Amino acid sequence: MNLLLHICCGPCSIFPLFELHKSDIQVTGYFHNPNIHPFQEFKKRINSTIQVANQFNIDLDIDREYGLVDYMRRVVFHEDQRCQICYDMRLKNVAHTAVKMGFNSFSTTLLYSKYQDHHRIREIANHWANYYGTTFYYQDFRQGWQYGIDQSIKLEVYRQPYCGCIFSEQERYDNRLKKRLKKLRKKKTL
């Protein structure tokens, strides 16, 4: 199998690359993340991805187009659906790129994060795989969460403190918003 692996950042790619190499799957990395904010963060994530790709000795294709404007246009007034929109934007592009570049399957390092919705990722990825006539390779990489963290620290790979979009950045740093969100979540569970 030759697989195009969507990479959201260097740290999130460590465990998936480790696992895929054990399976003798030929992997090429692909960085495409129009959601990342701010621009300096975008550049840091590209650099961390290059660092890990070099460590694993894999080919890497980088989409250096800063796509924040397109991402924001799609998400504004749909903030509560931003993750689904983001998955859709990225996975559509990855599926299309995989076919265009001659790969027979694609996957994503989003499957490493315990904070991502695997069900929605699979659903969206399979939709685009069917649309473009390719295969989405699913593997749950969450069991390697701590391994990826430990290795990124050991390798001195830049580790970002939030998912990537402007909304997740606010959720990470805005203490008043954190309190409001906590109250909302509590109400939903009652």
**Phi/psi of residue 77, nearest 5 degrees:** 75, 5
Q: Extract the tokens encoding 131.
A: 């649309």
The whole-number pLDDT of residue 72 equals 84
Beta strands in the chain (DSSP E): 2-6, 26-31, 59-62, 105-108
CB 66 within 8 A of CB 39: yes
The whole-number pLDDT of residue 82 equals 75
The whole-number pLDDT of residue 122 equals 98
- Supply the CATH classification number for the domain 2-165: 3.40.50.620
Mean pLDDT by 10 residues, the chain (190 residues): 96 97 94 93 96 97 94 84 90 98 97 94 98 98 96 92 65 64 65
Nearest 10 degrees: CA dihedral of 33, 67, 47, 103?
50
**Phi/psi of residue 2, nearest 5 degrees:** -110, 125
Residues 25 and 17: their CA atoms lie apart, in Å, by 10
pTM reported for the whole predicted model: 0.88
For residue 97, count other CB atoms closer than 10 A to its CB: 18
The whole-number pLDDT of residue 171 equals 64
Residue 159 vs residues 40, 104, 115, 150: alpha-carbon distances, Å: 14, 31, 15, 11
